[in-house]
Structure 1
Amino acid sequence: MTETSTPARDGDATAKGPMRALVLHPDIKSDRDRRDPGPALEEAVALAAALPDLEVAEAQVVRLPKAQPGLLFGSGKIAELKERITELEVGLVLIDGPVTPVQQRNLEKEWGVKLLDRTGLILEIFADRAATREGVLQVELAALSYQRTRLVRAWTHLERQRGGLGFVGGPGETQIEADRRAIDEAVTRIRRQLAKVVKTRELHRKARKKVPYPVVALVGYTNAGKSTLFNHLTGAEVMAKDMLFATLDPTMRAVALPDGTEVILSDTVGFISDLPTQLVAAFRATLEEVLDADLIVHVRDISHAETEEQASDVRAILRDLGVAETAPMIEVWNKMDRVAPEAAEALRAMAARREGVFAVSALTGEGVAEMLSAVGETLSPPRHRTEVVLPHGDGRRRAWLFAQGVVEGEAAGEGETRLNVHWTDRQAQAFRRL
């Protein structure tokens, strides 16, 4: 059985016109971990819509008792889909799930069109969205790892000036045998370049650690509204569109909380279910701000039909990163403006009864002030009093203590100054590094 989704979405027109795509979600009965096909298909369509110059002509759920080793689908379904591909004048088929190299090769031959599985599509989106040098290199590394297992893909996209991996169009679209040695050489070259970029990033991280400001990381499922919230709090102009993977590189800004505390706010890449293994590994560096965060703010799209499943996916990735049990976390139920009034009231009441949960709208500002107050309270670390003895000539460290506002008393002695300070462990550590 095949279920057809809502009408096709139009992509942005170009000189050649957008490429028309057919999105298929195989609902395989024998798959124990299969997702609800309806929301899964919607997410697949949203993924496809995130690519420019692509028009989703139609989207279908294709029910299968089991996956066929060579062609994924049965012969009858393949013939039926071929007719539909011809009728719709489709040039690309997107399959929301894993497709083996053999299945991909055979299906492309049967249908006479290009084919991308979920991993290939996400890689293509990441390539289009990556903005920093590290992000671009991480995408290329992940793409090479993916391509190396598929001896039908070109790797000439590495020589191109702009984004995109060549899966959808351009010089990388031709069906050729990948030269493994050339790919390995490219991997070595990229890793060498990446090592330099990561080293520079590490220096920046060390420099930030000398600043006694806590780091607050916004995390959440892709399209949960993290960038909109980030922009609301910072006034920054981070790309914030109703689009999956709108943000791929972390952006950091200083923010002053209502109690005067200054924090560094980090907007990070959105998480997604079934994220390709090679991308989880490749983008671990992109998520490094989460690893060092003093507080994690989990932003949820509370208006989404699968908000609970999305939250579960985010928590699972945080556990994989090793931060779920180490950093405190608050939960933000975002997009309250999209919830019907009666349901919104129930959600506000529910959030009020739960510790560390806040119902907000990053678009209208509802609940943001209360959330920020909670961030300040969570980050208010215990302080302790001690005496610091400085030589008279150590004006730099004395000035630093006064700038931090931690000096409660000062007494000058013979050749030294004694200061009574009331500070946090973080401030004490930063002082020792001066």
Structure 2
Amino acid sequence: MNDHFRYRQDELYAEQVPLGLIARRFGTPCYVYSRAALESAFHEFDQALAAHEHLLCYAVKANPNLAILNLFARLGAGFDIVSGGELQRVLAAGGAAEKVVFSGVGKREDEMRQALEAGILCFNVESAAELDRLNQVAGGLGQIAPVSLRVNPDVDAKTHPYISTGLKQSKFGVAYSEALALYRKAAGMAHLRVTGIDCHIGSQLTEVGPFIAAAEKVLALVDRLAAEGIALEHFDFGGGLGICYDDETPPSIAEYARALLHALSGRSEKLIVEPGRVLVGNAGVLLTRVEYLKQGEEKNFAIVDAAMNDLMRPALYEAYHQILPVQLAHPLQPVPGGRGGERDKQSLIFEVVGPVCESGDFLGHARELGVVAGDVLAVMSAGAYGMSMSSNYNTRPRAAEVMVDGEQTHLIRERETLEQLYATEKIIT
């Protein structure tokens, strides 16, 4: 829990607004974000790197809501995108194309044309085949595409294998051993201009060491490129700085920045970083209501109205999210209002599960909670990769999203309707 989500007289608040009020007004499941938390994280990152020319390119995939993109754009952010759809979102939210870097291993020709016509800052190229395609597409438009190569430094990020991207077996980036030859090739292509180098080794990193090991390998390659007359304008060291979900102890933004700036000592090239989770993860929660309490032979279940389609991380990664009652109650204190009538809120160990027809549909294992049916729970640290990975599995409308700004609440995405889910489908006769 951070300063922007706190209990006051036994009720959990987002800034100055009780989360129970938001649940009643907008329904559940519902994502709630704190504007102050978003701004605070951005300013902390920006100020930590103030000693070096830099650009913070927010990783759009972490949470692409237009209100969040617009907030960061007005704070001066650039954006790290991985699709043409994300580029269109950034532009719709008021982001500047000239502050956009385009990552991803599978850029289509139409996405390349879209980005070139918009005038983005750089393409982070991830294969020799992509170099060839981008050169051809840029030539067809009569343009010169700015490029960097995403170099795979073969550094162990020491994170979950699904979000580790810097090892030899990863689909991401070009092999370190092949990078020099590919830079030579890019430098000789008629419709490409080499402007930088890119490296991203994974997400939810909880140690500084892997960041610095990767940076040192990349900078050694930079020096070899300079010796061959290939001068770079920027170094992009990606994102991946972790947050605390449970008992992790990730480095602070200040610690990360000090280590990175030390590695860059004596260099004047612009620094680009691509933070995502660390800016939005702890700025959001998912509200969900308890539908039923079910006692099994071996486990107790709190069946809630949010599910794996709303928050995929627990099912996908076995990720941990703290789960807190929005309204605290003391053990054995009778509390009316539950759907099963008056019951004692005695703390028990629950599996917190959703209604989706999958055994993997859970939000938390073995959680001690004092709840009755009808109570609202807050799934904490859900601002990153929550709504952005949600789906309509089991024909479930996606959740509403709300931004809290001091004492005000703003609906920044309406809850989907069932009719919207099949509006584009056709019945054949």
Name the TM-score, length of structure 2 as normaliser.
Answer: 0.28
Name the TM-score, length of structure 1 as normaliser.
Answer: 0.27
Q: Which has the higher strand share?
A: 2
Q: Which has the higher helix share?
A: 1
Q: Which has the higher contact order (CA 8 A, sep 6+)?
A: 2
